[in-house]
Structure 1
Amino acid sequence: PCHSVEEGEEIAKRLEYPVVLRPAYTLGGTGGGIAYNVEELRSTVSRGLAASLIHQVLVEESVLGWEELELEVVRDEKNQKITVCFIENVDPMGVHTGDSFCVAPMLTVPESLQRKMQDLSYRIVDAIGVMGGTNIQFAHNLEDDRLVVIEINPRTSRSSALASKATGFPIARISTKLAAGITLDEIPYWKEGTLEKYEPRGDYVVVKFARWAFEKFPQAQDILGTQMKAVGEVMSIGKTFKEAFQKAIRSLEIKRYGLGVRELRALSPEQLKKNLSIPSSERIFLMYEALRRGSSIEELYQLTHIGKWFIKEMKELVEFEEEILRYPWNRLPSQKLTKAKELGFSDRYLAEFFNIKEREVRQKRISLGKEKHWIISTR
Structure 2
Amino acid sequence: EIGLSVPESGIAHSMAEAREVIAKIGLPAIIRPAYILGGQGTGIASTQAEFETIATEGLAASPITEILIEKSIAGWKEYELEVMRDHADNCVIVCSIENFDPMGVHTGDSITVAPAQTLSDVEYQTMRDAALACIRRVGVETGGSNVQFALNPANGDLVVIEMNPRVSRSSALASKATGFPIAKIAARLAVGYTLDEITNDITKKTPACFEPTIDYVVAKVPRWAFEKFPGTPGVLGTQMQSVGEVMAIGRTFPEAIQKAMRSMEQGRAGLNADEGELIYEDLDDAALLALTDHPTPERIFVVETALRRGLGIEAVHEACKIDPWFLDQLLMISEERAAIEAHGSIASLSTQELRRAKRLGFSDVQLAYLLGSTELEVREARIAQGVVPTFKTVDTCSAEFAAETPYHYSTWADESEVAPSDVPKVIILGSGPNRIGQGIEFDYGCVHASFALRAAGFETVMVNCNPETVSTD
Q: Which residue of 2 aligns with 1:328?
A: 344
> In the alignment, what sits opposite 2:445?
none
Partner residue in 1 for 2:362: 345
Give 1:18's match in structure 2, choosing from 15, 28, 51: 28
Q: Tell me, in whole angstroms, the C-alpha distance in 2 between the residues paired with 1:192 and 1:278.
A: 48
1:194 aligns with 2:207: yes
For residue 251 of structure 1, what is the aligned residue in structure 2?
A: 263
For 1:194 and 1:164, how far apart are their aligned partners in 2? 16
- How far does residue 6 in structure 1 lie from its aligned partner after superposition? 1.7
Residue in 2 aligned with 1:364? 381
Change (3 A) 1:49 1:319: same
Q: For residues 184 and 332 of structure 1, what CA distance do their matches in structure 2 show? A: 51
Aligned to 2:301: 285
Kindly provide the amino acid, as one letter, of the partner of residue 79 in structure 2: L
Match of 1:113 among 123, 135, 142: 123
Q: Once the 2 structures are TM-superposed, how far is the Cα of residue 142 of structure 1 from its aligned partner?
A: 1.4
Kept after mapping to 2: 8 A contact 1:21/1:44:
yes
Could you tell me how far 1:191 is from its partner in structure 2? 5.4
Aligned residue for 1:44? Answer: 54
- Note the C-alpha offset of 1:37: 1.7
What SS does structure 2 have at the residue aligned with 1:352?
helix
Distance (Å, rounded) in 1 between the aligned partners of 2:289 and 2:120: 31
Which runs of no fewer than 5 residues in structure 2 stay unpaired?
1-10, 396-401, 404-473
The answer to whether 1:207 aligns with 2:225 is no
Distance 2:151 2:378 in 1: 44
Is 2:293 aligned against 1:294? no
Please name the residue that 1:274 is paired with: 290
Whether the aligned pair in 1 keeps the contact of 2:344 and 2:372 (CA below 8 Å) is no
Residue correspondence of structure 1 range 57-68 to structure 2 within 5 A: 57-68=67-78
Alignment counterpart, residue 196 of structure 2, candidates 185, 203, 206: 185
Decide which of 208, 215, 229 is 1:217's aligned counterpart. Answer: 229
Per-residue deviation at 1:192?
4.8
In the aligned structure 1, how far is the partner of 2:309 from the partner of 2:131? Answer: 43
Q: CA deviation at 1:369?
A: 1.5
The TM-score, its normalising length taken from structure 1, stands at 0.97
1:76 deviates by 0.6
Task: Tell me the matched-pair count.
Answer: 378
- Cα distance, 1:68 vs. partner? 0.2
Pick the aligned partner of 2:149 from 138, 155, 158.
138
| Same amino acid, percent of matched pairs | 47
The question of 1:86 aligning with 2:96 is answered: yes
Post-superposition shift, 1:331?
2.3
Partners of 1:269 and 1:188 lie apart in 2 by: 56
| CA deviation after TM superposition for structure 1 residue 271, in Å | 2.2
Instruction: Go from structure 1 to structure 2 and tell me whether the alpha carbon gap of 1:254 and 1:195 turns closer, same or farther (over 3 Å shift).
Output: same
Q: C-alpha distance in 2, partners of 1:185/1:258?
A: 42
Asked if 2 retains the 8 angstrom alpha-carbon contact of 1:9 and 1:38, the reply is no
Amino acid at match of 1:353: L
User: What TM-score does the superposition give when structure 2 sets the normalisation length?
Assistant: 0.78
- Structure 1 distance, partners of 2:118, 2:212, is 17
Please report how far the alpha carbon of residue 375 of structure 1 lies from its aligned counterpart in structure 2 after TM superposition. 1.8
User: 92, 99, 103: which one pairs with 2:113?
Assistant: 103
1:265 is displaced (CA, Å) by 0.8
Task: Identify, as 1 or 2, the structure richer in helix.
Answer: 1
Instruction: Provide Cα deviations, 1:40-74, integer angstroms capped at 9, x if missing partner.
Output: 11111111111111111110111111000110000
**Secondary structure, counterpart of 1:126 in structure 2:** helix
More deviation, 330-339/231-240? 330-339
Matched, 1:156 2:180: no
